[in-house]
Amino acid sequence: NKWTVLVMAALFNGVQRYGQLQRQIEGISPKMLTQTLRALERDGLIERKIYPVIPPMVEYTPTALGSTLLEPLAALCQWAAEHLSEVEAARDHYDSSSV
């Protein structure tokens, strides 16, 4: 889903805490961020490190497996940037001709 891609892209910027991810990913609800992080951890794509401090501190980072997504995600982002105007034009055409 779109949140998975956005979370992984944010994690490629380095180790991130929950609050940092929430601020970086516009529009993601706390519930969706938590669900996405749990799913990525379950799939072995990210690692969660919990520090025994008050208040609790948790950091997320890509695993070796998750890091293999960097190149394909970078290519996808590059493609999206290069073709954004074409996609928007196609959407406008579709929306104006749909009943």
| pTM reported for the whole predicted model | 0.82
- 15-54: b (≥16 Cβ within 10 Å) or e: ebebebbbeebeebeeeebeebbeebeeeebbbeeeeeee
Average predicted confidence (pLDDT) for the chain: 94
Which amino acid type is present at position 47?
Answer: E
Selection from 23, 15, 21 nearest residue 51 by Cα = 15
Classify 44 in phi/psi space as left (phi over 0), alpha (psi -120 to 50) or beta.
left
pLDDT in tens, 19-62: 999 999 999 999 999 999 999 999 999 999 999 999 989 999 99
Selection from 56, 59, 49, 76 nearest residue 20 by Cα = 59
CATH of residue 8: 1.10.10.10
- Domain extent, residue 66, equals 2-97
Domain count, the chain: 1
